């Protein structure tokens, strides 16, 4: 049997609320070993080593906690007897953590994040089965070298592309128009696609960090003033624009972006539209000050821009990075 390290960080999977109900609960309350007690069959899948790293609602995850988690995984995977890693996590911000780990983990061993939409005390809580499947996936030879994955509702998603698409239903995740990496039937994974963007051992960011440059995010809406951009530029090296349509904005924003770019702020254009792709744009950005986010959402583009700014302040080099990751 393989040995899997489970690192618990909190979330609804560890949430406690009114007996049987799915609402009015607090995420990140119970210990991972208490969740495991409800799934004794998991011990037939793998030997488990558990670590309660944090116990928070994932809205409390931040750069420091990403770095702590990634650095911990980077050292655990060096242990020969550890074959894979499972991270339990809240669903709200799992997509940012999964992308940070995708970029910074220096391993080929399977790393699987999972969580739950219903607290541990709900009728038909989904967490125990998700955890069972996540451990099964991390123990499976076919998961080796696939990068960071997120397991939810029998479905395997890539850590880069996964996004929360429903804030209420148990089947809460999707991967844009790219479908998913595969499905699971109980403990057996069936992969049928792959991620082509650089990750883990192929990532120039693989390694440990103890600080990250500051990057802000600005959402464009009809009638938005450019004040927010000037405000963010005071305390951030980079700003991710979550524009309308193809990453677009009004004339006031266009002028502010040009002005602030000349003074050194690095801008990335992403879109508030869930699907599609943001390309360079001759009309909204005729001087190519902005870097296109490609298929990354604003919150994921922020993760990449922070790591990119750690390596270089050169806009064209950062543009190359966004094309590859
Ligand atoms: C959280 O993200 O920690 C709370 C919501 C959830 O896990 O579903």
- pLDDT tens-place string over residues 271-282: 999 999 999 999
What average pLDDT does range 86-114 have in this prediction? Answer: 98
Are 39 and 81 contacting, i.e. CB atoms less than 8 angstroms apart? no
Residue 237 has pLDDT above 90, yes or no: yes
Write down the pLDDT at residue 153: 97
Residue 246 has pLDDT above 90, yes or no: yes
Binding site membership of 70 for ligand 1 (Cβ less than 6 Å): no
- State the burial class of residue 51 (Cβ atoms within 10 Å of its Cβ: 0-12, 13-18, 19+): middle
- State the number of CA atoms in the 13 A half-sphere of 39 facing the CB: 23
According to CATH, the topology of domain 215-324 is Rossmann fold (3.40.50)
| 61 three-class SS | coil
Spatial distance between the Cα atoms of 246 and 240, rounded to a whole number of angstroms: 14
What average pLDDT does range 53-77 have in this prediction? Answer: 98
CA distances, 177 to each of 156, 174, 180, 274, 295 (Å): 15, 8, 9, 9, 10
Work out the mean pLDDT of the chain and round it to a whole number: 97
* Class of the CATH-defined domain 3-202: alpha beta
Residues forming beta bridges with residue 215, ordered by sequence position: 238
Write down the pLDDT at residue 211: 98
Are 48 and 138 contacting, i.e. CB atoms less than 8 angstroms apart? no
Tokens of 229: 């951009």
Position 203 confidence tier, pLDDT thresholds 50, 70, 90: very high
List of residues 6+ apart from 26 with CB closer than 8 A:
15, 16, 17, 57
How does pLDDT run across 126-136, given as a tens digit for each residue?
A: 999 999 999 99
Ligand 1, pocket-test mutation among 57, 95, 168, 173, most atoms within 8 A of CB: 57
Residue 92 has pLDDT above 90, yes or no: yes
Spatial distance between the Cα atoms of 145 and 158, rounded to a whole number of angstroms: 12
12 is a catalytic site residue:
yes
- Kindly list the domain boundaries of the chain, sorted by start residue: 3-202, 215-324
What average pLDDT does range 121-148 have in this prediction? Answer: 97
- Strands (DSSP E) found in 27-179: 46-56, 84-88, 111-114, 148-152, 155-158, 163-164, 173-174
Q: How many residues are there in the chain?
A: 325
Binding site membership of 58 for ligand 1 (Cβ less than 6 Å): yes
In eight-state DSSP terms, residue 14 is: G
Among protein residues, the one whose CA lies closest to atom 7 of ligand 1: 90
List the one residue out of 139, 160, 147 whose CA is nearest residue 108. Answer: 147
Write down the pLDDT at residue 23: 87
Binding site membership of 91 for ligand 1 (Cβ less than 6 Å): yes
Write down the pLDDT at residue 177: 84
Tokens of 245: 């349509």
Position 312 confidence tier, pLDDT thresholds 50, 70, 90: very high
Residue 176 has pLDDT above 90, yes or no: no
What average pLDDT does range 200-220 have in this prediction? Answer: 98
Write down the pLDDT at residue 305: 99
Whether 3-202 shares its CATH topology with 215-324 is answered yes
The one catalytic residue in 3, 9, 12, 177 is 12
Position 251 confidence tier, pLDDT thresholds 50, 70, 90: very high
Burial 229-238 (b: 16+ CB within 10 A, else e): beebbeebbb
Residue 313 has pLDDT above 90, yes or no: yes
List of residues 6+ apart from 205 with CB closer than 8 A:
103, 104, 307, 310, 311
């Amino acid at each position: 049997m393989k040995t899997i390290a489970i690192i618990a960080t909190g979330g609804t999977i560890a949430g406690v609320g009114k007996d049987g109900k799915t609402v009015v609960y607090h995420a990140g309350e119970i210990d991972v070993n208490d969740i495991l007690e409800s799934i004794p069959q998991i011990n037939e899948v793998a030997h488990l080593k558990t670590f309660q790293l944090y116990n928070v609602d994932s809205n409390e995850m931040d750069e420091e906690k990403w770095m702590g988690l990634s650095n911990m995984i980077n050292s655990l995977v060096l242990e020969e007897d550890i074959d894979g890693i499972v991270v339990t996590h809240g669903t709200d911000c799992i997509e940012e953590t999964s992308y940070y780990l995708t970029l910074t983990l220096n391993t080929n061993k399977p790393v699987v994040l999972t969580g739950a939409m219903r607290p541990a005390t709900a009728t038909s809580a989904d967490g125990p089965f998700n955890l069972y499947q996540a451990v099964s996936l991390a123990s499976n030879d076919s998961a080796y070298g696939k990068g960071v994955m997120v397991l939810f509702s029998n479905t395997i998603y890539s850590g880069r592309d996964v996004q929360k698409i429903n804030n209420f239903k148990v089947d809460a995740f999707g991967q844009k128009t790219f479908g998913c990496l595969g499905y699971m039937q109980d403990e057996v994974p069936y992969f049928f696609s792959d991620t082509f963007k650089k990750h883990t051992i192929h990532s120039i960011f693989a390694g440990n960090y103890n600080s990250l440059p500051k990057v802000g995010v600005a959402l464009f809406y009809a009638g938005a003033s450019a004040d927010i951009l000037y405000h963010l530029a005071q305390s951030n090296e980079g700003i991710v624009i979550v524009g309308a349509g193809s990453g677009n904005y009004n004339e006031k924003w266009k002028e502010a972006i040009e002005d602030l770019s000349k003074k050194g702020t690095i801008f990335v254009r992403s879109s508030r539209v869930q699907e599609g792709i943001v390309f360079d744009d001759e009309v909204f950005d005729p001087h190519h000050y902005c870097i296109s986010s490609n298929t990354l959402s604003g919150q994921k583009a922020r993760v990449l821009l922070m790591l990119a700014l750690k390596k270089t302040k050169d806009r064209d080099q950062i543009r190359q990075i966004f094309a590859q990751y």
